[in-house]
Amino acid sequence: MSGVTSSVIDVDYEQPGEHAGSACSTRHAWARVPPEPAPAERAALKQRIRELLKARNAVMVSHYYVHPDLQDLAEETGGLVADSLEMARFGRDHAAQTLVVCGVRFMGESAKILSPEKRVLMPDLDATCSLDLGCPTEAFSAFCDAHPDRAVVVYANTSAAVKARADWMVTSGCALEIVRALKEQGQKVLWAPDRHLGAYIQRETGADMVFWNGACIVHDEFKAFELEALMREHPAARVLVHPESPAEVVALADVVGSTAAMLKAARELDAHEFIVATDLGLLHQMRLHNPGKTFIEAPTAGNSATCKSCAQCPWMAMNSLAGVVRVLEQGLNEVQIDPALGRRARLPIDRMLAFTAALKNGQPLTGLVPHLGAV
């Protein structure tokens, strides 16, 4: 059996769900996105954050998809702008005892899993992710139980409890190599939760996989028909696509890759124009570091009634300067994870880190034993 998609769950993101204490549908998320501050207020908030980070021995780590102000401030104050794994790794290795994570819930959880002794604060704990929301622990666990012969590989965009049920955690940067190595060892894979990323990996590796039926609401909305029209208008443009996008969109790409791979391509490819299919937040980094180049947003379903994101993640947009000030002033919104659950959730992450380090150093790929077992 290969390439089978499970339809065990069908998520309606407009309905608040019960997940990790959160009840934040896209509608609720958009309603909670704070208005842009006026210039004087914006400057005052930034200054207050600089002071508070010093006073609280805290460091700020921001995801590429949050507001440009939060990206710039993280870099300016000695923090980091990165993908979720680099955010967690940076937080673990930094001397600061308080991490302010500007991103979504699973990112704060990953930071806490890797730094259980540190205080991890988030501007809004209800900032979640459609992949995380769409993969509740109990249903996922039952799915795993139904496929006991498969290595359980989960994407980073999952709760701590789902990671604690997995054999492997992967990011879009290393998923291909890990699934390929599993396949070479004759292992079959249970993949969750992003069906598009899973299908892409299956096409590339030929691995025997069954899929959870989740999707990122941002990448799911890119449309091949409109993208082809845009490509005709910009024939010299190179097309960069995140693999959470639908297969027809991925098929049009010059480069398919993680946020880090897309940034690298924007920097290194010999082209002046790029069409980019991912959250608009990444275009800020691309424009910042490639001033002579033009970056065009790939089209979504923005003109129809079905667009829930229009290439901007509503949960990422819940992060704000005012939110960072509030949590630093009041010590609010601390990420809490049961220590035993955190230790179990760390195993598939550490396994991935060991695998990628070995790959980088050209060492033999060890640690591919299939099952870590349930909690």
- Judged by the rule CB under 6 A, the positions of this chain that interact with ligand SF4 are 65, 104, 129-131, 157, 216-218, 279, 313, 315-316
Comparing CB distances to ligand SF4, the nearer of 88 and 218 is: 218
Both tokens of 129, joined, read: 């992710």
Give, in degrees to the nearest 5, the angle at Cα 150 between 148 and 153. 120
Comparing CB distances to ligand SF4, the nearer of 237 and 311 is: 311
Q: For residue 225, report the phi and psi dihedrals to the nearest 5 degrees.
A: -60, -50
Q: How far does Cα 339 stand from its chain's mean position?
A: 23
Report the nearest approach of ligand SF4 to the CB of residue 324 (Å). 18
Comparing CB distances to ligand SF4, the nearer of 79 and 314 is: 314
Give which of 94, 109, 3 is closest to 57, Cα–Cα: 94
- Judge whether 169 and 154 are in contact, CB under 8 Å: yes
Q: Is 370 exposed, middle or buried (0-12, 13-18, 19+ CB in 10 A)?
A: middle
Report the nearest approach of ligand SF4 to the CB of residue 65 (Å). 6
Report the nearest approach of ligand SF4 to the CB of residue 316 (Å). 6
- When computed from its CA atoms, the radius of gyration of the chain, rounded to whole angstroms, is 20
Q: For residue 214, report the phi and psi dihedrals to the nearest 5 degrees.
A: -105, 165
Comparing CB distances to ligand SF4, the nearer of 45 and 124 is: 124
Comparing CB distances to ligand SF4, the nearer of 274 and 315 is: 315
- Element spanning 100, H or E: strand 98-102
Comparing CB distances to ligand SF4, the nearer of 214 and 348 is: 214
Report the nearest approach of ligand SF4 to the CB of residue 110 (Å). 12
Report the nearest approach of ligand SF4 to the CB of residue 219 (Å). 6
Comparing CB distances to ligand SF4, the nearer of 45 and 200 is: 200
Report the nearest approach of ligand SF4 to the CB of residue 315 (Å). 5
Give which of 315, 374, 266, 368 is closest to 106, Cα–Cα: 315
Report the nearest approach of ligand SF4 to the CB of residue 66 (Å). 10
Q: Is 305 exposed, middle or buried (0-12, 13-18, 19+ CB in 10 A)?
A: exposed
Distances (CA, A) of 304 to 68, 164, 175, 195, 308: 27, 39, 33, 23, 10
